[in-house]
Structure 1
Amino acid sequence: MTSTAVHLNLQHAHPTSERLIVCDDELNLAEFAQVIDAAFDLTGEARCLFVRPPKPPVFTESVVYTAFPDAESGEKPLAQTSLAEAFGQLRRPLDYHYGHSTDWVISVQSIGEIPNDQEPTPRLVHGAGPDTAEGLESPRIMSTIRDSLMAELAGVPDAIERRQFIAPGVNDVKPLPLLERLSFCDELAAGERVATCLNWRRR
């Protein structure tokens, strides 16, 4: 069975939030979306789609993969497109868009195939940077709150007021645990989420 090593990078995240996962290249994109959601701790409740961006002169048009494709516009169905087909022989990069805004966008890059892979898939190989805090609406807001938390812990006088203004919903959270949550990946937890998100077809 051939697997694909995939690098995922959450755009506009600071610090950098990335995951390296290995997936069966026969997964369809609807299943692969569940793997990405698990890798970054997204709930999976929002609408998602994949976009293969244009990259002249090799790729002249973008391609959209969605759950409800518009055939007239050339969109393709998630559930009927395999990961191998989406990447193609040239390992074309994709963007994963989650939610109704453009704020949660994850760059998806195949970094190579693993022939005769005997290990269970999907699996997390490496994780760095925070999981998403979906309730905070965007990576930019996550980064802004993280900066204000560092200022707060350093004793900057107006840092608490800034954090309360930016995200009033996290006023009662202690600053140090929240700073750690917005800075680091819990690889054990992320690995468990990835390993179990497709239990019904795990090999």
Structure 2
Amino acid sequence: MARSEDFKTPLVRLAFANGLFKLIEDDWGNKNWTATLLIPKSEGLAVYEKAAVEAAKAEWGDKAVQMIKDKIIHSPFLDGDGPQGKSKKTGEPHAGFPGNWFLRVKSGEAYRPTLIDRQKLPIADQAKLKSGDYGFAVVHCFTWDNDKKGKGLTFGISMFQLVREGESLGGAGGVDVDKWAEVIPDEGAAPASTKGGAGAGGLFG
């Protein structure tokens, strides 16, 4: 498995936040801390695509770019307006998903993501961080390869900092806080440190 460097995201909206407080078991019986990050389509995926290509090249070399184009490598970027953005039970779109890309992020059982508020104080109470809230995450992209699903890319999460509360969408490891987090005023523009670059030129489109 290869992985990109950690980076701090632009402002994202949190969904399925309950997975940051309760371990979720995956298809292979592994327990993980999980969440979903909603990214407005108007902002694009450049900074995330850059990390995905970095991880893919580290694992599969320069051929990874063509493998991505040919969809041999499963993309981590999901469409909130597509089938994956809808409830399997009802067929209705998940609240807050339309108009957004989304990432399912995870961290292993032994590496619970650090959760902090605007003042860099720990968030221990699930009522203080809910689906629908906005913040910055520290993430990285990593590769996987297995007999059941083939090759793919997933994003890991090591920190989430709450910036502001949002309308509830329902449902509900160590990291250097001083390195990634800053005290955030109640209002204001995103810090320059979260701005993205040119990205991978829409390889995952």
Give your verdict on TM over 0.5.
Answer: no
Higher share in strand = 2
Q: Which structure has the bigger radius of gyration?
A: 1
Structure 1 length-normalised TM: 0.28
